[in-house]
Structure 1
């Protein structure tokens, strides 16, 4: 059986953003039989396969899994294979003679020990399910295997097209959110230098009201410098801008990017939280909250990217 005929790629198409959600069904048939393959993919942190197929095709499960592993990099992949038609698989009989011998001698010993009448008959031995097993044997018929291969190709191709289409929609949403986040960061960056000036004026006014006399400018400058150091968010802003750039670059690659984007978003959220905790300005605090809302929207969409 030519399991090695499974190719490394189904449709040869690379795509920048691929969703993890898709569905495909393909039916292939001859005069003798029909094979139907359904593939459903959904979100999952890792790659996980669940394959259901008739016992006659059990030998094809590992090659099929290996083939789909090259097509789907992440997500839960559910595969259902149905086989129908005039198929007469060979049978194989397995008999555990040692178990039957033990059972036969046990019956004889029990009858003797308890003085029971009668002898062990064949019907008693046939009731031993573990001792007599009938199973299907032999390789998959070449025609059936070819149909399975062709149907798997067709279903996987449909799944990929659906995942690409949804990936395009995800790209548009991600681009919208990342642009809005960048605008917020830029507004925050422009507002940041004004914080120290505003604080200095407030401090001067407060001290003037308290002492109602000459103001110690040295003290004001010192207090303002201490405040500026504590409230400085320039490093957080620089890192956040860098993460936005990395996010955009990842969207342009042809490799699976879901996990990378998820990590970048975690770092974005970390910086936004720090900005919010440092901010002593109400406007920056509000912007920090808006940043986290946008980052959460990005996270929701990224969960569905391969």
Structure 2
């Protein structure tokens, strides 16, 4: 199973205290990266949202934006009657001592410290309820986000399966071509040694063939072909594992690229070298898609 790192999910709901909407976006990243954006009055929700997200994905850059609007009664500042009364009584006392004729206007007192309680105080009173409701909206958004990532992951898996099948056929073609080319390469090596050391060969033919075998081992690609086959099997097993294993697939691709590059460095056969070019292109195509997988 593959899950894409790229996705989007959005959800909203209305509650007694107001409305909450959450938007989730994710893009590729080598590591887990979480960014939470909350309104100023709800900045304290960043921690519970972040904690809820940590175990929901392995890697990727995830951005969560919270938008909220509060019910009218929470937006309205409240008058603290006790504070207002204390201000009024003190002003009346001063008013009497100074024998002032003007009446005291209560609306003037509203700007004095402590008379009006700002909406943030009211939100704090229902903070636990706001957190609970916001996390319920978050879970709905995460569900949509994950669904989109799974669908995208299925598309990626379909492409990778087709491409790895082509690569397996290509490795089989390299093996078949090498079976035919190996004898010619070996005979050519013998001929070159014979030209360089004609006298030595008649004197010690055994050493001659030992040298040929030693040199042949350095340009024989049978081991690389065998390892390439083994990597393909392991790659398919990882691709079909119950969880998305993007990093493991990426490491396997590095090993597969190493083997195909070694084949290119060893052989001179034109057809095999062309197969190598095709193989590297296929592996790079797979790697581009795997780098988008969680």
Report if TM-score (shorter chain) is over 0.5: yes
Corresponding residue SS for 1:20: coil
Q: What is residue 259 of structure 2 aligned with on the other side?
A: 271
Structure 1 84/160 Cα, relative in aligned 2: closer, same or farther at 3 Å?
same
TM superposition score normalised by structure 1: 0.71
Given candidates 225, 229, 245, the residue that maps to 2:217 is 229
Of structures 1 and 2, the larger Rg is shown by: 2
Q: What is residue 145 of structure 2 aligned with on the other side?
A: 159
Unaligned runs of 5+ in 1: 1-15, 92-133
Unaligned runs of 5+ in 2: 79-117
Q: What is residue 242 of structure 2 aligned with on the other side?
A: 254
Structure 1 225/26 Cα, relative in aligned 2: closer, same or farther at 3 Å?
same
* Inter-partner Cα distance in structure 2 for 1:209 and 1:159: 70
Structure 1 205/26 Cα, relative in aligned 2: closer, same or farther at 3 Å?
same
Corresponding residue SS for 1:41: strand
Cα deviation, residue 54, structure 1: 1.1
Higher helix share: 2
2:140 is aligned with 1:168: no
Cα deviation, residue 192, structure 1: 1.6
Given candidates 59, 74, 84, the residue that maps to 2:59 is 74
Q: Deviations over 1:187-226 (max 9, x none)?
A: 111222222322355568889999xxxx98x599667535
Say how many residue pairs are matched. Answer: 245
Structure 1 303/241 Cα, relative in aligned 2: closer, same or farther at 3 Å?
same
TM superposition score normalised by structure 2: 0.74
Q: Deviations over 1:47-101 (max 9, x none)?
A: 101110012322221221111112121100000000112234999xxxxxxxxxx
2:176 is aligned with 1:190: yes
* Inter-partner Cα distance in structure 2 for 1:273 and 1:89: 70
> What does 1:46-85 correspond to in 2, within 5 Å?
46-85=31-70
